[in-house]
Amino acid sequence: MAKPLVTSTIAAPGFLGLNTQESSIQLSSGFALTAENCIIDRYGRIGARRGWTPVNATNADLGSSNIEFIFEMVDPNSDNHLISAGNNKLFVGTETLTQTTVTNADGDAPATYTITGNDWQAASIPYGDGTEATPHAYLVQAGHTPLVYHKQPATSSSLPHDHDGAYGFQVLGSAQTGGATVGSLPPGYTTTDFKPNTILSAYGRIWMADISGDRQTVYFSQLLNGSEFDGGDSGSLSINSVFPNNDQIIGLSAHNGFLIIFGRNNIAIYANPIDVTELTLADFIPNVGCVARDSIVNTGTDVIFLSDSGVRSLQRVIQEKSLPMRDLSKNVRDELVSNVASETATKIRAVYYDRDAFYLLALPATRYVYCFDLRAPLQDGAARVTIWNNIEPHAFVVTAAKELLIGKAGYVGKYYGYLDNASTYRIRYFTNYFDFDQPTSLKVLKKAGFVVIGGSAQPVSVKYGFDYTDNYIGITKYLDSAVVYEYNIADYGVATTVSETQETDPPTVTIETVDEEDVVVSSTHYLVDFSTTYNAGSGYNTSYPVHLDADGYYYSARYLKDENGQFLRDEDGNLIPVENRTEYVYYLKSGSFLGEYTGGIVLDRFTANLGGSGAVLQIGIESDINGDPLSIQKIDVGVKIGKTVI
């Protein structure tokens, strides 16, 4: 008698994220051994990350150098100011990057100031209060005197705090011809030796630390005057008696009424930072520190940082001293620590993006970005982790408009859409190894079923292997077509079809129908405003794939469709391309797309007949993301149980 089919279901593939730390055969089915270019979405599905699109036009002063620093200064009186750095230059602007040199204290000539790196850290605070408040940003970097970005003097007779000129950079503590200075430095310091490497804006002050030769002192400004570090209620805090073995300050943070000082190997937490006369040590955490300044991120409810042993959370320590710190990277710790060891600490970057509730840690040397989903911790306190392996950001910032911007070669990029600057990227997900609870029996793989959400007419590679082999067997399936909305977000539903008549010249996107003989019988040409090249200054900032036909029109697809708009396939299940139709990626205006939260989702089920046998099985999905989102809802696997293998 034929043996029955034994099935196993992974209802939420990858829901628990990566786990490379434990024995794979003992892992829950919710873990993944590979999750590349993935996120855990709000519904607990593993799916494709978004791509990126350039924000600015190319800039000759930047060239192809990486943007390694981005900061937004909020200005309640006008547009916010986006400051970025690359190629040892400072830039201001969004769609157009304008190189901005450092000027002297009089504001009428360039200052003698040499920039030798792009590893800035910035903080902002208004000068003054009420209607007289004016925003200021402060930039620090090892080996550089701090810079102030504010309204400069309009004339030679104006004082630094008149704020009657245009915005620009000046050196903190520099003196005007008449003797007035752009703020003041701590007593005993001059513009030649006050060169802090970390900065914080909190509790109405600017805090600076990590100065060469003085790495155990925190300096703080006067209240509501971030430029003045001498006189008034400005001052300093020495942690020489707190940090043992001359441990140096790496970074600063503020949370829940505390000032947090991160050393390389220790952490000090101070209470009462609002009244600096009452600053007291509230907690000291020995033998755990921070290895990278820019890994320190305040999420609003927590402070996250990179330590020698992985990514840590301070939340429990701040709330209750008796509770240990959470190890967010517990399930990928060894691999992460190994990758961090090959990095230059000053180049590591991190950000928390509250829209998607993830903490990103970018390691530029290994080209990995670790994505920690923070919606809810796992039972052991760890976060669900995936890896992005080809987006390669060199800087992060989340703007007041809740846009995640990243530093790229030659560009400030926006985390958006499902192409990496008009190029595809590949999502890879593989299960852990599983044995159907019969570890000593041979499993003969018969079929697998998949429920996939989001992809439209995408080729999806199903791969599987037995007994811990890396030589996977693979087949390719094609998903059905439809207009795709990611979790009710219409990222690529074009809204500005302003004409339904045939246009005499491109640009157009054409929707066609075919007859029973698979011949196109009618076409409607929709006029869509787009550019053949990226042109942010004119608003053409969003990539969109189109297909040029021999008739001179651009089409929305390169495959034949039936009268119901479904793609046609040959006898082998492959999509049938229209001859002489070539794919291009052009650029539309972001306003040409349908608004968010205005659609449904595409759900596709397909079954694959598979083969092969082994004691343990691993199965996975790979697909090139080419403009559409993709997520995996469920995997069903059917095997027949064979002989005992020992």
Are the beta carbons of 210 and 250 closer than 8 angstroms? yes
Per-residue model confidence as pLDDT tens digits over 95-143 = 999 999 999 999 999 999 999 999 999 999 999 877 778 999 999 999 9
Q: Indicate whether 438 and 587 sit together in one domain.
A: no
- The DSSP output letter for 335 is H
Q: Indicate whether 481 and 610 sit together in one domain.
A: yes
Q: Indicate whether 512 and 587 sit together in one domain.
A: yes
- Does 610 fall in a domain? yes
What is the per-residue pLDDT for 380?
87
Among the candidates 569, 592, 615, a domain finishes at 592
Among the candidates 592, 612, 629, a domain finishes at 592
Question: What's the CA dihedral at 237, 306, 410, 54 to 10 degrees?
Answer: -110
Structural domain of 583: 508-592
Are the beta carbons of 349 and 343 closer than 8 angstroms? no
- Does 569 fall in a domain? yes
Instruction: Tell me the DSSP string of 358-397.
Output: EEEEEETTTTEEEEEE-SS--TTSPPEEEEE-S---S-EE
Q: Indicate whether 474 and 613 sit together in one domain.
A: yes
Q: Indicate whether 477 and 456 sit together in one domain.
A: yes
Q: What are the residue ranges in the chain where pLDDT is below 50? A: 1, 483-509, 511, 514, 516, 518, 593-601
- Does 230 fall in a domain? no
What is the per-residue pLDDT for 27?
76
Q: Indicate whether 523 and 458 sit together in one domain.
A: no
What is the per-residue pLDDT for 598?
29
End-to-end CA separation in angstroms for the chain: 25
Are the beta carbons of 200 and 252 closer than 8 angstroms? yes
- Does 307 fall in a domain? no
Q: Indicate whether 580 and 437 sit together in one domain.
A: no
- Does 334 fall in a domain? no
Total of domains in the chain? 2
What is the per-residue pLDDT for 24?
67
Find tokens 């797309």 and name the residue.
593
Q: Indicate whether 562 and 626 sit together in one domain.
A: no
Q: Indicate whether 610 and 480 sit together in one domain.
A: yes
Query: What CATH number did the domain enclosing 628 receive?
Result: 2.60.120
Q: Indicate whether 579 and 608 sit together in one domain.
A: no
pTM of the prediction? 0.84
Q: Indicate whether 527 and 579 sit together in one domain.
A: yes
Q: Indicate whether 585 and 611 sit together in one domain.
A: no
- Does 388 fall in a domain? no
Per-residue model confidence as pLDDT tens digits over 518-550 = 455 555 555 566 676 666 667 666 666 666 766
- Does 365 fall in a domain? no
- Does 125 fall in a domain? no
Share of the chain above pLDDT 90, in %: 63
Residues 214 and 193: their CA atoms lie apart, in Å, by 10
Q: How many helices (H) and strands (E) does the chain have?
A: 2, 48
